[in-house]
Structures are given as structure tokens and as C-alpha cells.
Amino acid sequence: MFEELFRRPRVRQRIRQNPHGSVLEQFVEYLSERGYSHNTMHQYVFAAEHFGQWLSRRRINHDFAHQFIETHLPVCRCKSPASRTKKTVHASLSRLLEMTGTVAAARTSESPADLLLQQYAHHLADVQGLAPATVRYRLRYAGTMVSHFRVRRLGNFKNWTVERVRRFVVDEGQRWRPSSGQVMASSIRSFLRFLLLHGLIDRDLAAAVPSFANWRLASLPETVNAEELQRLIGGKKPTSPVGLRDRAIAICLIELGIRASDVAGLELEGLDLDNGVLWLRRQKQRQSTGIPISRPVTTAIGTYVRRGRPACSTSSLFVSHRAPRGKAMTPIGVRGVVVRLAAKAGLADRIRGTHVIRHSVASQWIQAGATLKQIADLLGHRSINTASIYAKVDLQALKQVALPWPTAGEVSP
């Protein structure tokens, strides 16, 4: 691939004579395997070549890459535009660091507060067994609080008081809706209990965190009807690999009512298309569940695997078709698929994410006669209370308990 990409012998010789010439040749193969275009590969290799010349015989690592971008590029007089553009160089060196396996190298300059937040993340994931998404947002709020109070050493936590904590939560909560404020408050309480557990504060400050008024059953879940869900899939079956993938994703969401994270977590090993069973790795329960799948799901997944999915080493079912090709899709990527399909179907104002599909499917199930316990099991809720909101859309059951509207003669003056 190196010979094909750089046809001029003088260019090949120059790259090979670079202090990291052998790495640059491997870099070409790395980019090619991930589906990058020749033009992008040229830019990335030239940027990495520039970095190699500046680096000389020093070892490729994250710190030197950061120093090269932040201190060398602004004063560099290199003639090649690709070697001077910060965005291109940053993308190139990110891929180079991935290839050399140095991205995850530990930094020695981490502050005590950074190390404490890492310890808190391990506590949430390994001790409490929380889902990755829950760990991320709790860690985000904890980091915001640490930054706000300018914690430089662990002894600074002793200075936290009830009034300071309460004022922080109140001020921060003004930026959020009540539901988001509740999440923020519960995250802060969790972090404060962690600090108390490790003796970093002297009293339980979690009680100082105010609650946010939010009536969880005060509104109806946003839903769309069955005809609109079918419009999302589209009448004409796609033939392109990306189209087959997007259709399979939409059908999984509509037929199974699963979360975007569940779709992103589907793996080839969890497919049993012959018996119509899909093993779903429930993120929140941290376990795998076998669920029966309908013929549309079986057909859509089977077609994508046979005709659309690119050959790659990852075990994930749904992967990226653009460079870096073969990378597992994320929940955000699944949401992006739904948003694009909704815009194409003229439903951009009705379907703005994946949860409206989940609510719509649950509403259809309960109107078809399913119980709240069945809904909770199918949706992967650990508590039946979470599914209780769907009782408000069970029109047949509500008709049986509704009192007749009084006429004018029946009303006492």
C-alpha cells in the first residue's frame, strides 16, 4: 500500500529516511485498513512525517504530540499546508498514537483531585455496579464541584460546609430543568457520601443538598403512532451498506423497544437468527438477556450482516462505515441514525431521538393488553414503578374507571 500511495521514488525515500520511517510505513497500512481515502492518508502521513522530523530519535508519546501541536506549529515555517494545519495534525497524531498504543499511557502530572475522581469512578463502576452512562454523568457533576471549589489537595475538602454545598447546588440547579436538577442533586449526594466514606469530610453533607420539585407522572410520555413509525423505516428497501445498517437499527428499536445503548451493544456472538433469539447485554442490569425477535428483525439483521457489514475485527454488530471503518457504533451514533431517518421521513419535529420510539412502542404494547409487569420486563426496567407512567396512556383501562360527566340538572347549586 505504501508504494501505491506514494508513487514518486523521491517521496518514498524521504519518508523512509525519517527518524520514524518504519512507523510511518506501518501508519499507511493502519489508515488503509480503516477505510481512509487516499487524499486523507496523504495529509495524515505528511503531518506525521513532520512530527517525526521534529521528534527526531525521541519516543512517540502523548506529551510530545501535545508539545508539537501547541508550541511548534504556531512558529513553524514548514511549506506543506497539511503539516501546518492544527486540525489535520491533531487528527493525524491521534491516529498515530492509537496505532502505537500510547494514547492510554498514564500521566505523571495528575493532581490529587484527578486521582480522587478516578478512584470515585472505580467505586461507582466496581462497587456500586452502575451503568457506564450513569458513571459518566455522576463523574461529570463531581468534577464540576471539585473545580468550582478549586480543590488542589485532599485537605481542602475539610473546608466544605453545609452553606457552601447548598449554595453551589442552588446556583448550579438554576441552569437545568427540574428533572435534570434532580439528577445533578443525586449525583452530588453520591459524591459527598463517597468523601465521607473515605474520611475526607467530617460530617454527612449529603443532607444539605436540596431537592428539586418534579412530579414524574405529571406529563404524558411523548409518542408517535404506528403509521409514523413505519414511515421512519421507509417503504423502499435500501441497497447500500449504510442504508441496510440504518434500516436494521430502526427496526430493532421499533420492534424491540430497546435503548440506543442496547442497540450499540449488540454483538455478533449474541445473534441466533435460526432460532429467532437475540442475546441483549443490558447495561443497567450488567447481565445478558435472551429475547425472542420477530421476522422483520431477523430479516433486517441477516441482510445487513450478509450484504452490508464491512469485514472488521470488532465483534459489535453495528459498526461505522466511514473512516475509521469498522469501529463499533456508540449510543450517540444510533441516535444520529434515527435523527437522519426522521428528517428524511418528514418527522424531524416528532422524532428527535430514540426515546420517543421506546415510549411509542410501550404505549402500543399496553393498549394491546400487556400488563405493566410485562412492559417493565420487556423494556428492561428493574422496577415496575418506572413503567407506571404508561398507565396514563392505557385508554381502555381508563375508560373503566372514569366517572360519567354530570349534566346540568345533576349539579347541585
pLDDT tens for 319-360 read 998 887 888 898 999 999 999 999 999 999 999 889 889 888
Q: What is the pLDDT of residue 130?
A: 83
Q: Are residues 35 and 9 in the same domain?
A: yes
Residue 213's pLDDT band (cuts 50, 70, 90): confident
pLDDT tens for 249-288 read 999 999 988 888 889 989 999 898 888 888 887 655 556 7
69, 96, 110, 256, 410 from 107: Cα distances, Å:
18, 18, 6, 43, 78
Q: Are residues 26 and 92 in the same domain?
A: yes
Q: Are residues 79 and 125 in the same domain?
A: no
End-to-end CA distance of the chain: 91
Residue 216's pLDDT band (cuts 50, 70, 90): low
Q: What is the pLDDT of residue 113?
A: 86
Q: What is the pLDDT of residue 81?
A: 61
Q: What is the pLDDT of residue 409?
A: 59
Residue 221 lies in a domain: no
Residue 106 lies in a domain: no
Q: Are residues 240 and 189 in the same domain?
A: no
> Lowest-pLDDT range, 143-152, 173-182, 223-232?
173-182
Q: What is the pLDDT of residue 249?
A: 95
Residue 359 lies in a domain: yes
Q: What is the pLDDT of residue 105?
A: 43
Total domain count for the chain? 3
Q: What is the pLDDT of residue 173?
A: 84
Residue 387 lies in a domain: yes
Percent of the chain at pLDDT exceeding 70: 84
> Lowest-pLDDT range, 17-31, 63-77, 211-225?
211-225
Q: What is the pLDDT of residue 316?
A: 92
CA atoms within 13 A on the CB side of 81: 0
Q: Are residues 300 and 343 in the same domain?
A: yes
- Domain that residue 66 falls in: 2-100
Give Cβ neighbours of residue 42 (< 8 Å, ≥ 6 apart): 5, 82
Residue 409 lies in a domain: no
Bridge partners, 272 (sequence order): 277
- The closest of 362, 361, 338 to 350, measured between CA atoms, is 338
Q: Are residues 79 and 135 in the same domain?
A: no
CATH code for the domain of 189: 1.10.150
Which of 79, 100, 121 corresponds to the end of one domain? 100
Residue 86 lies in a domain: yes
Q: Are residues 349 and 296 in the same domain?
A: yes
Q: Are residues 34 and 138 in the same domain?
A: no
Residue 405 lies in a domain: no
Global pTM value:
0.67
Arithmetic mean of pLDDT, 74-95: 78
> Lowest-pLDDT range, 65-69, 110-114, 164-168, 237-241?
110-114
Q: Are residues 68 and 118 in the same domain?
A: no
pLDDT tens for 377-412 read 777 766 665 666 655 555 555 555 555 666 655 555
Q: What is the pLDDT of residue 36?
A: 87
Arithmetic mean of pLDDT, 230-252: 91
